[in-house]
Structures are given as C-alpha cells and as structure tokens.
C-alpha cells in the first residue's frame, strides 16, 4: 500500500524502484543534444545543465560497459529546424558520440517508429533503458512512452533532460520549468521511474 497522498499509478499497481543496474541488460539513450537547441531556432534555457548531466551518465555508462545510443533528429533539406543540410542538426561538440557508441538518426518525435532501435536493443538482451535528452515533453517523453509497451523498464534522468517555454492554444505561455516538471510527473505516474543523475549513479551495478 502506498503512503503518498497522491500515489502514482505505478505505485498503486506495485511497481518497485530499481535497486541495482544490470549493466548487460541496460542501455543509455542520449536524445537530440544537437546545436538546434543551443544556437538554433529552438533555444532550451536549461540545455547546458542537462547536457552536463547527460555527460556524467555517458561517462558512467562507458565505465560500466553499458551500451550508449546517441539519437539525432533529422528533417528534410531546407526545413526550418534540424535540416539535414544545416549546421544546427549536428550534435553539440561537448557531447559528440564516441567511436564505440551507437548513433541513430530519427525523423519522428519518438526514436522508436523511424529507427531499428527496438530490434537492436532486443538483439542485445536489453531490458532497461535510461533516457536523457531534449526535449522533456517531446522526444524524451515519446521514447519513454513507446519503450514501455515494447517491454522495457524505463528510467528517465530528470536533470539530464530539459525543455523550452511554449505558448499553448489558449494563448498562455507555459514556462519551461513548469512544462518540464509536468512532463516528468506524467512519466512517473504511468511510464517510468524518474531519478536525478546522482541517484542513478549511486545505484549498484552488476
């Protein structure tokens, strides 16, 4: 029985937090840390902090021989954002993939519909995905939501994600912090365990 005044659906059905990370069954998804969010048309205020925390997760994953998948969004030539012929489609130089990392290009919000990520993960025996990236409400949430019905346990790194201010259809602007927090609350309710970077790094590995 949960003790929270507002328990999540996951708590109510008995989901339990991870007590350890099985490195051979875990992959880290590093999603869309591309120049578009730093110097392009979609500036994310907390992108650098999120990228720094994602970098810590990448270093931890490499040290523990956990598979790292770097995801890159592509749009057609001449598109206003993420154009495959533009400068801002590139990964940010501070988090470029290492040679031994996997790199996938996607054309959808979630990485799963337009790549072979699921097949790759299943071939490697992956059962848990840790998700970091930009933006929290879009590509991070999309990946986390899609991973669950495909059979994966999902951990979202709360401070290795970020998003931007958005004006809604009612004309009101939702701040990036409110949108980030609401997105994480939604994921924690029904889809994923949400932990900050330090909590993930503190989990025993084996």
Residue labelled with tokens 């749009």: 75
* Residue 97, φ and ψ in degrees, nearest 5: -60, 145
In this prediction, residues 116-122 reach a mean pLDDT of 98
Contacts of 200 (CB under 8 A, 6+ apart): 21, 57, 60, 130, 155, 157
Largest CA distance in the chain: 54
Write the pLDDT tens digit of every residue in 26-77.
999 999 999 999 999 999 999 999 999 999 999 999 999 999 999 999 999 9
Write the pLDDT tens digit of every residue in 141-182.
999 999 999 999 999 999 999 999 999 999 999 999 999 999
Give me the pLDDT at residue 77, please. 97
pLDDT band, residue 2 (cuts 50/70/90): very low
Give me the pLDDT at residue 1, please. 42
Give me the pLDDT at residue 4, please. 73
Give me the pLDDT at residue 50, please. 98
Give me the pLDDT at residue 5, please. 84
In whole angstroms, give the CA distance from residue 184 to residue 195.
Answer: 10
Contacts of 23 (CB under 8 A, 6+ apart): 64, 65, 66, 205, 206
């Amino acid at each position: 029985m949960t003790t929270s005044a507002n328990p999540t659906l996951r708590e109510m059905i008995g989901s339990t937090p991870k007590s350890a990370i099985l490195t051979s069954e875990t992959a880290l998804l590093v999603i869309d840390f591309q120049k578009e969010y730093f110097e392009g048309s979609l500036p994310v205020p907390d992108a650098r902090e999120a990228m720094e925390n994602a970098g810590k997760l990448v270093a931890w994953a490499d040290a523990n021989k956990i598979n790292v998948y770097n995801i890159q969004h592509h749009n057609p030539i001449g598109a206003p954002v993420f154009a495959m012929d533009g400068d801002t489609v590139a990964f940010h130089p501070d988090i470029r993939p290492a040679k031994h990392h996997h790199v996938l290009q996607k054309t959808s919000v979630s990485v799963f519909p337009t790549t072979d990520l699921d097949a790759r993960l299943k071939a490697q025996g992956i059962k848990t995905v840790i998700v970091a990236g930009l933006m929290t409400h879009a590509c991070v949430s999309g990946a986390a939501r899609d991973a669950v019905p495909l059979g994966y346990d999902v951990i979202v790194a709360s401070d290795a994600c970020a998003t931007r201010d958005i004006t809604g259809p009612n004309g009101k602007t939702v701040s990036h912090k409110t949108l980030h927090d609401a997105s994480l609350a939604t994921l924690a309710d029904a889809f994923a365990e949400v932990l900050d970077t330090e909590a993930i790094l503190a989990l025993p590995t084996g």
